[in-house]
Structure 1
Amino acid sequence: MFGNMNAFLYFIQPNHCPPCLLHAISKQMSVKQTVLLVVPKPLGDGNGVKGMVDSGLSEVPEQYVQPPEERIDKLNASTHDNPPIDLSKLDGPQHEQIVEEIARAAETLGFFQVMNHGVPLELLESLKDAANNFFGQPPEKKAVYRKGVSPCPSVKYGTSFVPDKEKALEWKDYISMTYTTDAEALEYWPQECKDVALEYLRTSIKMVRKVVEILIGKLGVTLDDSRIDGLIGSKLVNMNFYPPCPNPELTVGVGRHSDMGMLTVLLQDDIGGLYVKMEEEMDGKRQGDWVEIPAVPGALVINVGDTLQILSNGRYKSAEHRVRTTSTKSRVSIPIFAIPKPTERIGPLPQLVERDGVARYREFIFEEYMNNFFSNVHDGKKSLDFANNI
């Protein structure tokens, strides 16, 4: 019953109520007020956001409507149109120029794109196909990777970031794969994507190491191989799926946040939707403005993470960023997160503290930082508060 004796409330799950039943309900209750509420399919059974969209949603459910201050105003955002940095020139006479471009980008926006990065272009296309194939499976195929039931704790399918704590959910499904060994990946990562995801990781991490060595070198510091191994010793591969949204102006694909690790490598498809917050005035754009990182065919996006900002004593910037949804097409993105080993001690490099005369962040064990990061909702660069030296 709902309201009074002449009003009935029916909860209808999409695709579970045939037209004949709806007709029968409306005919039998024609003298009464009948209210039909379409209830989205449960997210926990593998449907995710995609399952809701496939059910024929015409408007965004209330739990996905972001407060006005969190919504992305595409019309008031500009495009960051700096060309990708050509990494192949590191091996030629323009080496120093490319090093300067990488360092400058890390010091200012914290984001840059690269081309001739060593990851085969056909592999990038295969990755996007693999992501679409995984998320295009029936819900029960994806549900086996849910947290708590996945055959391997390092493989997890989910939706949003911390759903049980978020005031408004993110419009995203994902599969997250933490790398430990090739053998584990080949046994437990999803069949639809494990081979290409593993090859993407192998080829990308070579580039990550090269960029890390360049950025550490520009600080005037030398780290031995074992220390660099520790700083990028853990790797996560995510495949993110953003279904079309009936009201994209009300939602976000990913909320405002910075990444926790050293560097993130991101493959975008051609839809775009990645926005970065300016930390300082640059190229005619004001501090606090949001700029879109355009999708460039064949390019990869690299961004600085919190760990590198801390190590550099604030010289390099882990930019706040977020993702917009779209009403027209689904979008996929595949990031690799290069993060420290859990036991690695993180803090400003001693040479920089001596040079700067201050340690802007405290020291900690990375596992502590990681636990804090995954225990809280996305909230800009608030994750860095954990390391503030106060």
Structure 2
Amino acid sequence: MGSICDESVIENVDAPPTYAPSLPVPNVQELVKKEPLQIPDRYVRDQDDRPQMNDDMSCLSSEIPIIDLSLLSKGDKEELSKLDLACKEWGFFQVVNHGMAKELLQNMKDATVEFFELPLEEKNKYAMPPDDIQGYGHAYVVSEEQTLDWSDALILVVYPSQYRKLKFWPSTPTGYKDIIEAYSKEVKDIGVELLRSFSTIMGMDKDALLGLHEELVQALSVNYYPECSRPDQVLGISPHSDTSTITILMQEHDTHGLQIKHINGGWMLVKPVPGALVVNVGDVIEILSNGKYKSIEHRAVTNESKARISYASFLVPRDDVEIGPLEHLIDSQTPQKLYKKVVYGEYLRSSMKRPLEGKAHMQMAKVET
């Protein structure tokens, strides 16, 4: 989920918050339609930042942990141990047996494809306003000089329901609002189960993390990555870690694009597992765990032949919640606090004042050494 909003927005936590202004930029899908072989200069990456299309550490992709949510929900010790290891060593895992119906997953994909196939003037009925990120457009564009991402997005705050700005929820195709609602409700239920398991592996009562959030805030970012004639020169989304507690992502099952930065520094493709959802540790968990679990940099790459869509749901605390290292996790392995206490709404908006740049935004929460 660009600039600090008015402090009254953070204090009035029951009002729909405003998150971030983002500068208007061209629609990438339209650029490709008009000039499919052209890559405008603003999208071309410096040599060092370009994806190496044949060096994606594919051999390691199959090692990304797969976690069975049905076992986690029963408190299965072996599966909880797998979750702990996944969060320590990867920061990413794929979750299966999550209970969401295949039909709902497919309905979400089908309706979203229909939305992005609409004429631009129709999609622009839901365009982001100048002061916020809800709606159709681009987030995190904070300067005229920054290199742009090869993607367009539809971003909606879904929960709590009083935060919704329904004028940005597409009424075309018919039933899309209801599908977004049904999909997001299932994601929320999955997120609640996951946060209970996170509480357990962090040595707390299973509802402790949910209590800390006071009320889960959930946003949905549907990202559309058009095909690109030179995928080696652009990025669909710049490298970043998520400011969330956890992020739950649905990928296309037949089109690759998500890459994570492995512990050894190389970029590695996350190959979709049919029916699975990808989950990653966000900055909030890294701060609460005092770095035991780390939010991992990730990015999206494009391809020459086919557009790709991803569906990222961000579960975060309320704006007024204070986050910092949990005292019982300050131990012999990490005896010093690596992070200070921060108000989540201030942390989030501080990160949105800057373009996506890896984990640079986390500096505001780090203890100075």
Give the shorter-chain TM-score range: 0.7 to 0.9
Determine whether 1:64 maps to 2:47. Answer: no
Determine whether 1:388 maps to 2:366. Answer: yes
More moved, 218-227 vs 331-340? 218-227
Compute the displacement of 1:265 (Å). 0.2
Mapping for residues 218-229 of structure 1, pairs under 5 Å: 218-222=201-205, 224=207, 227-228=210-211
Compute the displacement of 1:240 (Å). 0.6
Question: Residue 205 and residue 180 in structure 1: after superposition, are their counterparts in 2 closer, same or farther (change >3 A)?
Answer: closer
Residues 87-116 of structure 1 deviation map (CA, whole Å, 9 limit, x = unaligned): 223356x81111111111111110000111
Distance 1:59 1:140 in 2: 23
> What corresponds to 1:84 in structure 2?
66
TM-score by length of 2: 0.85
> What corresponds to 2:240 in structure 1?
257
- Aligned 8 A contact 1:310 1:361 in 2: yes
Compute the displacement of 1:249 (Å). 0.5
Mapping for residues 150-165 of structure 1, pairs under 5 Å: 155-159=134-138, 161-162=140-141, 164=143
Residues 275-326 of structure 1 deviation map (CA, whole Å, 9 limit, x = unaligned): 10112xxxxxxx1011110012101000000010000000011000000011
Letter aligned with residue 111 of structure 1: F
Compute the displacement of 1:222 (Å). 3.0
> What corresponds to 2:280 in structure 1?
303
- Does the residue aligned with 2:93 lie in a helix, a strand or coil? strand
Q: Which of 96, 105, 124 does residue 115 from structure 1 map onto?
A: 96
Q: Which of 303, 309, 314 does residue 326 from structure 1 map onto?
A: 303
Distance 1:165 1:122 in 2: 42
Question: Residue 333 and residue 257 in structure 1: after superposition, are their counterparts in 2 closer, same or farther (change >3 A)?
Answer: same
Compute the displacement of 1:167 (Å). 2.2
Distance 1:120 1:186 in 2: 27
- Aligned 8 A contact 1:90 1:98 in 2: yes
Letter aligned with residue 202 of structure 2: L
Distance 1:184 1:345 in 2: 20
Distance 2:207 2:199 in 1: 11
Distance 2:165 2:177 in 1: 6
Give the gaps of 5 or more residues in structure 2: 1-22
More moved, 232-241 vs 317-326? 232-241
Compute the displacement of 1:161 (Å). 3.0
Q: Which of 153, 163, 170 does residue 190 from structure 1 map onto?
A: 170
Letter aligned with residue 218 of structure 1: I
TM-score by length of 1: 0.80
**Count of residues paired in the alignment:** 337
Determine whether 1:347 maps to 2:324. Answer: yes
Query: Which of the pair has more CA radius of gyration?
Result: 1
Q: Which of 370, 376, 382 does residue 348 from structure 2 map onto?
A: 370
Letter aligned with residue 273 of structure 1: G
Q: Which of 97, 103, 107 does residue 78 from structure 2 map onto?
A: 97
Q: Which of 262, 275, 294 does residue 317 from structure 1 map onto?
A: 294
Letter aligned with residue 180 of structure 2: A
Across the aligned residues of Structure 1 and Structure 2, the Cα RMSD in angstroms comes to 2.4
Residues 139-162 of structure 1 deviation map (CA, whole Å, 9 limit, x = unaligned): 111212223279xx6732113631
Compute the displacement of 1:230 (Å). 1.5
How many percent of aligned residue pairs carry the same amino acid?
31
Q: Which of 209, 212, 218 does residue 195 from structure 2 map onto?
A: 212
- Aligned 8 A contact 1:177 1:236 in 2: yes
Larger relative CO (CA 8 A, sep 6+): 1 or 2? 2
Determine whether 1:50 maps to 2:29. Answer: yes
